[in-house]
Amino acid sequence: TERTLVLAKPDAVRRGLLGEILTRITRKGWTLAALELRTLDRATLAEHYAEHQGKPFYESLVEFMAAGPTAAMVVEGERVIEGFRALAGTTDPIAAAPGTIRGDFGTVTRENLVHGSDSPESAAREIKIFFPGLI
Ligand code: ATP
């Protein structure tokens, strides 16, 4: 089985959608290996979003992500890396299919509710950033 790093971003937490997101994850058959509510600092965000540094949306993304608590979690299960991204929907919530988390609850690309690692390599890298002690 696989593990992936999922973030319920500050907009999701603020809007009371954390329970809904956890329900969708566990109802799918996946399990939580770690879960923590934490306001992310700029150093953590710079590391997590290293590939986006220099892009036009980077500063506003970090600003948004640092503005309130995020629920960081490690989700475990069958094909969870690809599967969680399918559950989340495409980056732009207006384009995301209804039935997905972003498609059902979002309208703004930056405030698209969740993050999920996009490959096994990203998952390993990101899990280490958020849960360095996790076995
Ligand atoms: P994530 O990596 O968070 O799962 P993703 O792979 O769908 O999302 P990326 O292209 O990696 O999207 O962008 C990372 C995050 O940056 C997006 O989830 C979104 O919050 C924000 N973002 C991406 N593109 C834009 C944009 N054009 N304008 C504003 N914010 C953006």
pLDDT at residue 17, as a whole number: 98
Q: What is the arithmetic mean of pLDDT over 111-121?
A: 98
Q: How close is the Cα of 135 to the center of ligand 1, in Å?
A: 28
Ranges of each domain in the chain? 2-130
pLDDT at residue 41, as a whole number: 97
Closest residue by Cα to atom 27, ligand 1, is 57
pLDDT at residue 91, as a whole number: 98
Q: How close is the Cα of 110 to the center of ligand 1, in Å?
A: 6
pLDDT at residue 29, as a whole number: 98
pLDDT at residue 81, as a whole number: 98
Q: How close is the Cα of 91 to the center of ligand 1, in Å?
A: 6
Does the annotation place 105 within a ligand binding site?
Answer: no
pLDDT band at 119 (very low <50, low <70, confident <90, very high): very high
Q: Which two tokens stand for residue 32?
A: 């939580």
Element (H, E) at 82: helix 80-88
Closest residue by Cα to atom 9, ligand 1, is 91
pLDDT at residue 128, as a whole number: 98
Q: What percent of the chain has pLDDT over 70?
A: 100
Does the annotation place 42 within a ligand binding site?
Answer: no
- Write down the CATH number for the domain with range 2-130: 3.30.70.141
Grouping H, G, I as helix, E, B as strand and the rest as coil, residue 8 is strand
Closest to 72 (Cα-Cα) out of 129, 14, 110: 129
Does the annotation place 84 within a ligand binding site?
Answer: no
pLDDT at residue 32, as a whole number: 98
pLDDT at residue 26, as a whole number: 98
Does residue 57 line the site of ligand 1, with CB under 6 A?
A: yes
Does residue 91 line the site of ligand 1, with CB under 6 A?
A: yes
pLDDT in tens, 10-54: 999 999 999 999 999 999 999 999 999 999 999 999 999 999 999
| 31-38, strands of its sheet edge to edge | 31-38, 70-77, 2-8, 114-116
How confident is the prediction for the chain on average, in pLDDT? 98
pLDDT at residue 73, as a whole number: 98
Grouping H, G, I as helix, E, B as strand and the rest as coil, residue 31 is strand
Does residue 110 line the site of ligand 1, with CB under 6 A?
A: yes
98 beta partners: 100
pLDDT at residue 84, as a whole number: 99
